[in-house]
Structure 1
């Protein structure tokens, strides 16, 4: 256990570092994942996410730093910790000529902590939870990429887990499958399981996660609740009007800094940072109407996780890893 670590954290690292020859893949990160959270682990390709996960699970040794998983020091207590952890890392691999159910049964047999007398029932339940009951007897080589992802998650759910680590869990899934996995993750968290999700799908993270951390070039650049991560950027006022010049004068008078975007065949859009400390949207509307400005649309938009991600890393993101 990391000295002085909190029992309220499912995962905690201090100064976690991994070097390969002269390259530093992970540079002194301090992760803090609360128990019961759905925690999104974000970052561009090559940012060190998968290497970090492999160190957390004892799949590769850290160069330096300390790791605590479920209150136990890793990798020293690996044999006590791993039976309580389910994981899907770097894509699932199965015996291609065994059925989905047979693959799960074989994997469960290899788990010396899994009770054999309930194996068949647990395999059936895991397949049902990920929507693969209809394909239980189909050979794994005939599974689509999305079905293999589901089967990998089912394997992680064969027994109760205190922590679930999922690397790109919606990779290859269609929109319906993505919604089902999102619902499954929420239900697992509601049952008390901490879920640690590595993903590039920022919109999914916004809908699914309670907390997140952002990696960039091997460094942890931000972490906290989703609300905390959004506080680094100001909301923006967006106004659509056929009177852009008059509207801009009103906004400048209110202390805002408007910019105009012309859209062919439509009324222009006016945008401005909107701190909101001394004004409200109602006050802006009142000032615009008093000046005779016609309003076709007005909204105050909070910064998205995508915008915050780009601001933190200076990069865009890929849809899949």
Structure 2
């Protein structure tokens, strides 16, 4: 059995002359929480719709839970829970009644245990207190949780969630994140499409970045961060000596005057912030500090700045990123 819950090769969707999704190769490990990142309009939702068989690909292949889609739609979809483009419910029915209707539409669901499944799903998402409340009176956060409850009516090996915290207040966002963490802790693979940086950094083990229909990077969250440009910063009144020491360690430096400081002998001096790019195999920070001190550099401040997820996104796509939590 494949160790990938989702695998695509050259997956493409064109609308006329426009390629909404352009030859992407996704690799989502089983048990991962995979953050599918990109600004609105980058092709994320179209990709999800192809994975679920809702849209036919123009070219390429997609395998979900080891089976090709949409060829094996009937055997794959019962193992997948999905929330795509927000939940839609009959507003005049209660939350429980809405779930019973969805459950009745599933030919794989046994009618005799429907009530127990609905009650369990509502309890799982924290809506046991609102089973009789009309869905039209639910808050946006409650509707999102009801949508996730619908995805959990049957046991699922994969959850596909498209912008699950979109439009939620901070409390609703925290509730949905806690739910996703609980699914992952049980071994369910979760594929989360989002344009929110905080959501991905707090939830995901793996990341894929879309830009203008193309997958420009993917890997573990830590690999993604490490692949960015990290820098070392030294605050010192001896910028010339500091640059010489850092260059001797193989680091490329630059410098800019920053602020006045006492030089340790009672006289003010101008400190400079000397920065250097850390390459693929840099010396450890303590070795850099030791070399600076041995080179008679007065170190007033020292820091290693790792590349953030936002920086990596900008480096890869040249676009801004919505970092609202």
Global fold match (TM > 0.5): yes
Task: Say whether 1:163 aligns with 2:158.
Answer: yes
Structure 1 residue 155 displacement after superposition: 0.8
Partner of 1:107: 102
**TM-score normalised according to structure 1 size:** 0.87
Partner of 2:238: 246
Structure 1 residue 276 displacement after superposition: 7.5
SS of equivalent residue, structure 1 residue 165: strand
Conservation of the 8 A alpha-carbon contact between 2:100 and 2:115: yes
CA distance in 1, matches of 2:275, 2:131: 53
CA distance in 2, matches of 1:262, 1:101: 62
Q: Which segment is superposed worse, 138-147 or 79-88?
A: 138-147
Structure 1 residue 319 displacement after superposition: 5.2
Moved segments of 4+, more than 6 Å: none
Root-mean-square deviation over aligned CA pairs: 2.5
Q: Which segment is superposed worse, 112-121 or 21-30?
A: 112-121
Superimposed CA distance per residue, residues 223-273 of structure 1 (whole angstroms, 9 cap, x where no aligned partner): 12122222322322244x4xx4424641443224144474899x9765432
Q: In the superposition, relative to structure 1, how do residues 274 and 78 fare at CA in structure 2: closer, same or farther (>3 Å)? A: same
Structure 1 residue 192 displacement after superposition: 2.3
SS of equivalent residue, structure 2 residue 102: helix
**TM-score normalised according to structure 2 size:** 0.86
SS of equivalent residue, structure 1 residue 52: helix
CA distance in 2, matches of 1:203, 1:285: 32
Task: Say whether 1:28 aligns with 2:32.
Answer: no
Structure 1 residue 44 displacement after superposition: 1.5
Task: Say whether 1:283 aligns with 2:287.
Answer: yes
Q: In the superposition, relative to structure 1, how do residues 169 and 260 fare at CA in structure 2: closer, same or farther (>3 Å)? A: farther
**Structure of greater Rg:** 2
Correspondence list, 1:225-264, <5 A: 225-239=220-234, 241=235, 244-247=236-239, 249-255=241-247, 256=251, 257-260=253-256, 262=258
| Unaligned 5+ runs, structure 2 | 262-270
SS of equivalent residue, structure 1 residue 97: coil
Task: Say whether 1:48 aligns with 2:35.
Answer: no
| Unaligned 5+ runs, structure 1 | 1-5
Task: Say whether 1:144 aligns with 2:129.
Answer: no
SS of equivalent residue, structure 1 residue 184: helix
CA distance in 2, matches of 1:63, 1:299: 49
